[in-house]
Amino acid sequence: MLKSTPFHERTSQLCEGESWQDWSGYLSANAYELDHSHEYYAVRTGCGMFDISPLYKYHVRGRDAMALLNRMSTRNVAKCRMGQIVYTAWCDDDGHIVDDGTIARLGDDFFRLTTAMSLLYWLEDVGFGMDVQIEDVSEEQGALAIQGPTSRQIVQQLTSANLDDLKYFRIIEDKVAGVPVRIARNGYTGDLGYELFMDAGDGLAVWDALMEKSDEYKLRPAGHIALDMVRIEAGLVLIDAEFMSATQAMYPIQRTTPFELGLDWVVNLKKDHFIGQRALREEVARGRAWTTVGIQVDVVALEALYGRFGMPLMLPYHSWIDAIPLYSDAGKQKQIGKATSGTWSPVMKRYVALARLKPEHAKLGSGLHIEMTIEGQRFTVPAHVVETPFFDPPRKRA
């Protein structure tokens, strides 16, 4: 049976269509209204509130806490200062990505790790023999992501902390609505936003206080459909979409390295040894087999194809996650990669997708063709490689 998050007493009342999914063993709403569009627009024009409690959360303490995380992480955790958060990945011995997540430094020898997958066994294995304590606090802590242009204003109304001083990817401890909360300046939407972590029993008090301000700051609870659309706009990779964990992959072709995901910036090959370092150095020497980029679909050409059927242009109403072939030519003679997830962006008015390509076809501006199916017939539509993130407002880091 699926578990309930600390906010289920409220979310269950709001979920009009009873549309839920399994997120790490928890009931998690796909959308609260029958249509997801209000939730999407809330994130981009007001504020969206996501229940992210199903994230796995681990406290790592002790003299060797940093050594453990440095051995696991592709980044140099020693550079993570007090109150700082770093996004990172970790790999198996062959350099294939196991998962990605964030590390927050909460004390001299105290860190919090958030992950998409259950990782306790991995941490215990990596930390064997070290002076370190690992605690799974996933069920003890509730978490809300407050994301969008008005997110700072609404959270500021409920805390005495000066959020103007809280920089991007930093974290502080304070109170929100009188509840002890860790306030993190980050998110998974590519927008201005905060993540609030609190004891599970205090969750409803924080939720209710935020909802009391919802009309004033255009806040709406939002679900997975809206979240997936905005994370694609932000160019952010997703497990089981852009990559599969090396621990779950059954065949070599399903395994991916950070370099193939375009995560070069989170790999520090000059630091002391970490798991997978040798394999990643070898990959750099021989050259990566794939790379992940953003592409934009030519909607004028797509409209012309629909016109052949006497149909108006039909764009995806929400994001999709699928392996869609990409070709170098309209005749589909040479496949050069695959799109992994995509969406029509209502705010940008662009049809964008994340894609894995052969490096020689991945330069900005490079043309390609994406396979599309209309009325059971398969066609190719022109597209080209563009810069990511697709959506990157200055307010995200301001």
- CATH number of the domain that 197 lies in? 3.30.1360.120
DSSP string computed for 73-91: BSS-GGG--TTBEEEEEEE
Residue 384 and residue 295 share a domain: yes
pLDDT at residue 1 above 90? no
CA distances from 116 to 8, 58, 113, 171 (A): 20, 12, 10, 20
Residue 385 and residue 297 share a domain: yes
Q: What is the pLDDT of residue 76?
A: 97
Residue 34 located in a structural domain: yes
pLDDT digits (tens, 9 = 90+) for 160-189: 999 999 999 999 999 999 999 999 999 999
Q: What whole-number distance in Å separates Cα of residue 313 and Cα of residue 293?
A: 25
DSSP string computed for 285-336: HH--S-EEEEEEE-HHHHHHHHHHTT------SS-EEEEEEEESSTT--SEE
Q: What percent of the chain is predicted at pLDDT more than 90?
A: 99
Sequence-separated (6 or more) residues with CB below 8 Å from residue 141: 53, 57, 197, 198, 199, 200
**Rounded average pLDDT over 300-316:** 98
Sequence-separated (6 or more) residues with CB below 8 Å from residue 207: 7, 10, 49, 144
How many domains does the structure of the chain reveal? Answer: 2
Residue 163 located in a structural domain: yes
Q: What whole-number distance in Å separates Cα of residue 54 and Cα of residue 176?
A: 21
Residue 153 and residue 29 share a domain: yes
Residue 295 and residue 382 share a domain: yes
Residue 296 and residue 210 share a domain: no
Residue 228 located in a structural domain: no
pLDDT digits (tens, 9 = 90+) for 43-67: 999 999 999 999 999 999 999 999 9
Residue 156 and residue 17 share a domain: yes
Residue 297 and residue 174 share a domain: no
Sequence-separated (6 or more) residues with CB below 8 Å from residue 383: 295, 296, 297, 298, 326, 353, 367, 368, 369, 370
Q: What whole-number distance in Å separates Cα of residue 155 and Cα of residue 216?
A: 12
Q: What is the pLDDT of residue 301?
A: 98
pLDDT at residue 223 above 90? yes
Residue 153 and residue 24 share a domain: yes
Q: Which backbone phi and psi does 134 adopt, to 5 degrees?
A: -115, 125
- Residue after which a domain boundary falls, among 222, 250, 278: 222
Q: What whole-number distance in Å separates Cα of residue 388 and Cα of residue 237?
A: 11
Residue 213 located in a structural domain: yes
Residue 218 and residue 295 share a domain: no
Residue 313 and residue 212 share a domain: no
Kindly report whether the global pTM for this prediction surpasses the value 0.95: yes
Mean per-residue pLDDT over the chain, rounded: 97
Q: What is the pLDDT of residue 250?
A: 96
pLDDT band at 268 (very low <50, low <70, confident <90, very high): very high
pLDDT digits (tens, 9 = 90+) for 66-81: 999 999 999 999 999 9
Q: Select from 32, 34, 37 the least CA-distant residue to 15.
A: 32
Residue 87 located in a structural domain: no
- Residue after which a domain boundary falls, among 196, 222, 248: 222
- Residue after which a domain boundary falls, among 222, 247, 265: 222
Residue 203 located in a structural domain: yes
Question: Can you give the CATH number for the domain in which 359 is found?
Answer: 2.40.30.110
Provide the residue count of the chain: 398
Domain range for 310 is: 291-391
Task: Give the 3-state secondary structure of residue 237.
Answer: coil
Instruction: Kindly tell me the sign of the dihedral angle through the C-alpha atoms of 230, 235, 238, 240.
Output: positive
Q: What whole-number distance in Å separates Cα of residue 245 and Cα of residue 243?
A: 7
Task: Quote the Cα angle for 196-199-203, to 5°.
Answer: 65
Residue 198 and residue 313 share a domain: no
Residue 214 located in a structural domain: yes
pLDDT digits (tens, 9 = 90+) for 22-44: 999 999 999 999 999 999 999 99
Cβ atoms of 342 and 232 closer than 8 Å: yes
pLDDT at residue 338 above 90? yes
Residue 305 and residue 183 share a domain: no
Residue 101 located in a structural domain: no
**Rounded average pLDDT over 89-115:** 98
Q: What whole-number distance in Å separates Cα of residue 112 and Cα of residue 105?
A: 7
pLDDT band at 11 (very low <50, low <70, confident <90, very high): very high
- The token pair that represents 61 in the structure block: 């303490």
